[in-house]
Amino acid sequence: MTTPSSPRAAAFVETFALAGRRLTHLRKVPGRLLAITLNSLITMLAIGYVFKGAVSVEGGGSYPEFLFPAALMQVGLAGVAPTAIAVAMDLKGGLTDRFRSLPISRPAVLFGHTIGDALVGFVALAIVAGIGLAVGGRVHAGFPALLAGLAVLALFLYVMIWVGVLLGLTMGNPESIDGVGAVLTLGLSFLSNAFMAVSQLPAWVRPIAEWNPVSSVTTLCRQLWGVPVPADDSFPAQHPGVVVAVTLVVLFTAATLLSFRRYRLA
């Protein structure tokens, strides 16, 4: 076996070796993939079919069709807590200290973790998309538009995984992370246009929902897929692509820099 000829090549190899460690762990504990997938499927199947006759969709279209992009968006939110718990368990169990004692790149540890968890999330995204299309989700703009929307959701998912890494390094206690993850998932989902139009929300919630990044991700996917979008004159609703791009860049930059800082100090 040959060793990489440069530090950059070594870091690349180490990153994917550590990502492989995360995937190997998934084979032993597949519940993480199941939990992430079921969270979105319950949203799509339970809420979509229980309330499809009670919730009117502004602009036309069926409620399951309206809910389809929101359910896929929730795959990203649902991945925050499992990542945070895994990072906190490594920290608490001494594995982080062991990694630091080895002659490996420090960024490789966190990037390996996020890449491994992202691959799990992408599988969950594909499963939810396939089932969603079978039970009422629609993409009216063709296959390239479907891929474009999934790419947006994949980027959102990866950024949220970095948020999970930061949460795990900051809290450090696996037992307390589940509650925070649930609040994050439910809060960002319900204070958005994921389940109903912003105009149907209470007046005090509307400004929050309009500028919630989750709303912009969901709106952008609806627009890309040709799903009817409720009328909304706010800047985020009119320019969801701009809001999504700026938000993801800012979140990714902040989460990675703060995560590396916390990792050095942990």
Report the alpha-carbon angle 108-112-115, nearest 5.
Answer: 135
Cβ neighbour number for residue 135 with a 10 Å cutoff: 14
Q: Which domain holds residue 158?
A: 15-265
- Predicted pLDDT of residue 3: 52
Please report whether residue 37 resides in a domain: yes
Instruction: Classify burial at 200, counting beta carbons within 10 Å of its beta carbon; exposed 0-12, middle 13-18, buried 19 or more.
Output: middle
- DSSP assignment of 122-137, as one string? HHHHHHHHHHHHHTT-
Is residue 105 domain-resident?
A: yes
Kindly state the average pLDDT of the residues 118-122. Answer: 92
Query: How confident is the model at residue 208, as a pLDDT?
Result: 95
CA distance 133 to 49: 14
176-228 pLDDT per residue, tens:
888 888 888 889 999 999 988 898 889 999 999 999 999 999 999 999 999 98
Q: Distance between CA atoms of 17 and 11, rounded to whole angstroms?
A: 10
- Is 4 contained in some domain? no
Within-domain flag for 1: no
**Residue among 26, 36, 129, 127 nearest 75 (CA):** 36
**225 in a structural domain:** yes
Between these two residues, 26 and 232, which has the higher pLDDT value? 232
The pTM score is: 0.91
2 burial (CB, 10 Å; 0-12 / 13-18 / 19+) is: exposed
Please state the rounded mean pLDDT for residues 83-92: 85
Considering the domain boundaries, does residue 157 fall inside one? yes
What are 84's two structure tokens?
Answer: 């945070």
Residue 223 within any structural domain of the chain: yes
Q: How many domains does the chain have?
A: 1
Other residues' Cβ atoms within 10 Å of the Cβ of residue 178 = 13
Q: Average pLDDT for residues 98-112, to the nearest whole number?
A: 76
The helix (run of H) or strand (run of E) holding residue 99 is helix 95-101
The amino acid that residue 238 corresponds to is Q
CA 163, CA 96: separation in Å to the nearest integer? Answer: 18
Q: Which residue has the higher pLDDT, 75 or 57?
A: 75
